[in-house]
Amino acid sequence: MTEIRRVGFIGLGNMGGPMCGHLARAGYDVAAFDLDGSALARAVAAGARAETSSLDCVRGVDAVITMLPAPPHVEQVLLYDGVIAAMEPGSVSIDMSTSSTAVGARVAAAAREQGVDVLDAPVAGQNIGARAGTLAIYVGGEESVFERARALFEVIGNPKRVFHMGPHGAGYTIKLLLNLKWFIESVAAGEILTVGVRAGVPLDRLYRALVGSPANSNFLEHDVRPVLEAGDYDEAFPMRLVTKDLGLAVDLARDVGVPVELTGLVEQIHRRARVQYGDDAGEVSAIRLYEDLAGLELRLPAEDLD
């Protein structure tokens, strides 16, 4: 197999833009495309070459990376717009979006007919990880194809957090389950903290007790801090994408025949927060919903922010 040096990158948003930039700065020949002209300009500034369409990104490349908002966009670009059909046999399609196993299976079927290899490689680590190049990457697909693409992943993410999860679709599954657990913890933190404060426990003492207990979690210790410190609900990942991911998790559970009552409830709480605060509200707006229901703000005193 030839070494991957020429890459087409489609989707240059909050995550894809920095990821594309890392590859260009690492010396890869990167052809980039996005419908947003300003996003494309930023990729060019990082060293990528601008193309005028997704199909233009396919010409002569060893791999095409897609980083798109949702499964319909993945299907549109790879299948209906003809990216897979235009790829050369022996090249690799790498979808790093949070997508569905159903769309992934249709893409894989089309790729087999074209002689194109396929990897699903969604990421975790938020926009800050994308910019820093410290993302975790969860890859599904043939191990030999994974090894061929490993060098790309180690530029985009933390080399110690690049994982081959199993056959095609395993990466999508892992990412949906990771997101599901995170969103469950967001609801749990909102409930626990507002109940404790309404019951008369000072937030700083309640928070220290929880973090110092067996009930501590990475979410509680780190991810909730921007809310407690500054009322920052993280608009870098909006509620329209949160509810999309939760819907995909519910679909996955239904497909494999597992009843998920808690997941269904958590999905509805986030949908309520989306209706309350809008599509572009931050991803931990479920906590804001509990604050408003309880008539309080969860903010640590300034002396406890260090």
Q: Residue 153: helix, strand or coil by DSSP?
A: helix
Residue 252, Cβ neighbours under 10 Å: how many?
20
Using alpha carbons, select from 22, 111, 25 the residue that is nearest to residue 64: 111
Contact criterion met (CB below 8 Å) for 254 and 223: no
What pLDDT sits at residue 283? 96
Q: Decide: pTM greater than 0.95.
A: no
Contact criterion met (CB below 8 Å) for 136 and 124: yes
Tokens of 101: 């196993």
**May I ask the CATH architecture of the domain 6-168?**
3-Layer(aba) Sandwich (3.40)
Q: What is the mean pLDDT of the chain?
A: 96
C-alpha–C-alpha distance, residues 232 and 277, integer Å: 14
pLDDT tens column, 180-224: 999 999 999 999 999 999 999 999 999 999 999 999 999 999 999
CATH code of domain 174-304 = 1.10.1040.10
Active site residue 160: no
Sketch the domain layout of the chain as residue ranges.
6-168, 174-304
Same fold: 6-168 with 174-304: no
Residues of the chain with pLDDT under 50: none
C-alpha–C-alpha distance, residues 211 and 304, integer Å: 13
Contact criterion met (CB below 8 Å) for 31 and 49: yes
Which residue is associated with the tokens 């507002």? 194
Contact criterion met (CB below 8 Å) for 67 and 9: yes
In 85-211, the DSSP E strands lie at: 92-95, 117-120, 123-124, 135-140, 157-166
What pLDDT sits at residue 303? 66
**Amino acid, single-letter form, for residue 263:** T
Q: Fill in the DSSP letter of residue 303.
A: G
C-alpha–C-alpha distance, residues 15 and 2, integer Å: 27
Q: The dihedral of CA 295, 300, 302, 303: what is its sign?
A: positive
Which member of 160, 175, 181, 244 is catalytic? 175
What pLDDT sits at residue 304? 60
C-alpha–C-alpha distance, residues 94 and 97, integer Å: 9
C-alpha–C-alpha distance, residues 181 and 124, integer Å: 13
* Paired strand residues for 183: none
